[in-house]
Structure 1
Amino acid sequence: MEIEEVEVETVTSIDQYECQNTVEKEKAYTRYIIRHNFLTYSFNPEIHIKWLTLSIHKPLPSGFMSLDSSTPWILYWTLNPLRLFGYNVDKYLNEYTEALRLITLPDGVIRGSQQSIPIVAGCYSGVCTMIDIGTVNAYQLINRQNTYNFLISKKFPDGSFEMNCDSGDIDTRACYCAISTAYVLNILDDNLKQGVAEWLLKCQTYEGGFSGCPGGEAHGGYSYCAVAALALLGRIDEIDINKLLRWLIQRQKPIEGGFDGRINKLVDACYTFWQASIFGILKKYSKTFQASPVFPNVDKLLDYIILASQNKDGGYRDKPSKKPDLYHTNYALSGISSILHASDHQMKNTIRPIEPAMGVDQFYFDKACEYFRSL
């Protein structure tokens, strides 16, 4: 007996149809512009560098007031893409160092703003900014012992971490931010590591990706955090790699070329990092993956980023219907760097290599790690 398939329209299916049509039109239009104006299929770094440096020079829009407690994130999102483009940022380093100092408590623990209390995510984004600054003055802002005391105070006996004592956010993000911060600062001891890998491994779902905590739905951001943390803990090959790869490959949209965050969701340029960077982590840290590597369609992903996400006046956007912003610019470029270098793509030399498990320029990551391991 044959089963007749009936197509039922839902809000989800309508949104998906409209999104892929918008993306296809944008890609076709951009190809036309490139062809008829003899332009280059590229990341157009000059345009984005100008756009990013304007974000440093000019006051941010009033809407950013709501992100006051995300100051280290904004510092990271502006500086990191400039590093990836190989732009000389020396003239800005004193300003970045001073901005980081202002949100660092007298005891040497980084917080989200001058008015907020420390949270684990603020420590991570502050350390990312510190890495990209890349100077001893920036390194010395952080007190390693007090940062360790703060991180260990957010750890639970089952191996999980919370962001802070008031948020209730206990998930793979908090684990990753704590582990990666400790890894760079060379304070990742047995007490911090105990039980973390075991808790993270429980978060891998039947789908293949990782949820925020055991029993949830697989999601790109949670998956990146879990895989990156397990890599830094040296436990990555305890993941069911084949199941993870199957889920990751399914997250690349066949028409748009970019990635979504979870099943039945729309494409978003930021998942170029949260999803595609996982391939970079596996390539660097997983012996299982290295024995039989699998990659997504990198050319289709490039088409989405260059032809659809890239804004002609600078910056990258979620999708063509959105405006460019610092968040999507950083993660689009970071993810592309990771996948291009991991897959040895012919365009890899157009952007500097990133440390896939941290999301910062590889050279400055290695430099910071070397400094803290010498103490």
Structure 2
Amino acid sequence: MDPTTFDRERHVAFLEMMLECLPEDYESQEINRLTIAYFVISSLALLDALDRVNKDQLVSWVLSFQLHPRNDADLKNVSLLQDNSMDLVVPHLQVLSLMMNRHLASTYCALAILKVVGYSFSNSNFELILVSMRELQLPDGSFMPTHTGAEADLRFIYCAVAICFMLNNWTGMDKLKAREYILKCQSYDGGFGLVPGAESHGGATYCAVAALHLMGYMETGIISKLSQTLVIDVPLLVEWSLQRQSVDGGFQGRANKPSDTCYAFWVGGVLKLLGGYHLCNKEALRSFLLSCQSKFGGFKKFPDVIYPDLYHSFYGFSALSLLQEPGLKPLQVELGIPDISGAGI
């Protein structure tokens, strides 16, 4: 492959192959089937290749994961769940029918897929998702991902915020409590940790900044409006984010870590939302990203890795979209999905 050229057709072919049959290494990711589908579908959308997907069939498959309450007791325990009595509508995704726990991340991915393909949320009753979500928010404002209990941190605040935003309904959370928790996660160096007092991390920082944007507490391009009262220390955050670009042009997720394809989106997206993306070295970043293209199509975590994976492929496409690479559609950065205009089912 030409290391200076973005090979769109090879990437589309790779994603089409992933729709037909996933490699056996993905067998352990059975419980993450909606997340895997989100990476594939969103990647195809970024490449303007959604015509390769049967949208009606895909929508039916995603909706089959929603659990419908049988009685009033179920109302506080509703989210998206695979119904194991229903055959999957999209067998070519190579997943088995298996009962799985309700999970905020899976719910976010399901709604994101539906939004990307243009499904009208007015066609379904998703308000019960919000009823369920309210039970997941803890007194400190953070969210657990499941009703069975698990770690609570910025990842799941972001999922909850994005769900409320996509459904245009904020009854599923206490925004003020979530905001206060996010603010407590900003570290001394400007970045955000997953929980208060934790080391700053690129993914956590994106979750914090994107959530504040979606909740309406931060304006896009706020770096140019520093005379206004700010909810976080923006100059320090911009400095921390810019320091994450390494000498090889890529972005690292934490200090003293190697550059990684995905952080070109996680940290690059933060800079984009803050209005400081023009301050990074775009030419060097593009060169690093293209060095991570796989000869099989898709993107690798590091340049010297042999095989691509769907996670780094999607965020590689997303990062190049931020760079306005020809052949890629723009992003809705704060939602982490392609900006699909005019689509509708």
Provide TM-score, normalisation by structure 2. 0.84
> Quick check: 1:205 aligned with 2:187?
yes
More helix by share: 1
Aligned residue number for residue 237 of structure 2? 244
In 2, Cα distance between the equivalents of 1:251 and 1:98?
A: 41
In 2, Cα distance between the equivalents of 1:335 and 1:133?
A: 21
* Partner secondary structure for residue 174 of structure 2: helix
* Partner secondary structure for residue 259 of structure 1: coil
In 2, Cα distance between the equivalents of 1:100 and 1:133?
A: 11
Aligned residue number for residue 300 of structure 1? 284
Aligned residue number for residue 41 of structure 2? 79
- Alignment check: 8 A CA contact 1:173 1:222 kept: yes
Q: Compared with structure 1, are the counterparts of its residues 262 and 180 closer, same or farther at alpha carbon in structure 2 (3 Å cutoff)?
A: same
In 2, Cα distance between the equivalents of 1:231 and 1:78?
A: 26
Select which of 105, 119, 124 maps to 1:121: 105
Aligned residue number for residue 328 of structure 2? 351
Q: Deviations over 1:268-290 (max 9, x none)?
A: 1011111111122223xxxxx6x
In 1, Cα distance between the equivalents of 2:340 and 2:182?
A: 28
Q: In terms of Rg, which structure is larger? A: 1
> Quick check: 1:104 aligned with 2:88?
no
Listed as ranges, the gaps of 5+ residues in structure 2 are 70-77, 83-96, 219-229
In 2, Cα distance between the equivalents of 1:303 and 1:142?
A: 44
In 1, Cα distance between the equivalents of 2:36 and 2:258?
A: 25
In 1, Cα distance between the equivalents of 2:130 and 2:173?
A: 10
Select which of 314, 317, 325 maps to 2:300: 317
Q: Compared with structure 1, are the counterparts of its residues 66 and 167 closer, same or farther at alpha carbon in structure 2 (3 Å cutoff)?
A: farther
Select which of 119, 134, 159 maps to 2:141: 159
Q: Compared with structure 1, are the counterparts of its residues 153 and 216 closer, same or farther at alpha carbon in structure 2 (3 Å cutoff)?
A: same
Q: Deviations over 1:78-103 (max 9, x none)?
A: 01111111114264213322321232
Select which of 15, 18, 21 maps to 1:52: 15
Listed as ranges, the gaps of 5+ residues in structure 1 are 1-29, 35-40, 284-288, 342-346
In 2, Cα distance between the equivalents of 1:274 and 1:228?
A: 10
In 2, Cα distance between the equivalents of 1:206 and 1:186?
A: 34
Deviation at 1:267, TM superposition (A): 1.1
Deviation at 1:160, TM superposition (A): 1.2
In 1, Cα distance between the equivalents of 2:18 and 2:170?
A: 35
Q: Deviations over 1:107-136 (max 9, x none)?
A: 573237741121111111111111112123
Q: How does 1:16-95 map to 2 (within 5 A)?
A: 33=2, 41-58=4-21, 60-89=22-51, 91-95=53-57
Aligned pair count reads 311
Aligned residue number for residue 363 of structure 1? 340
- Alignment check: 8 A CA contact 1:269 1:317 kept: yes
Pairwise CA RMSD = 2.3
**AA partner of residue 63 (structure 1):** D
Select which of 261, 268, 281 maps to 2:260: 268
Of all paired residues, the percent bearing the same amino acid is: 30
Deviation at 1:171, TM superposition (A): 0.5
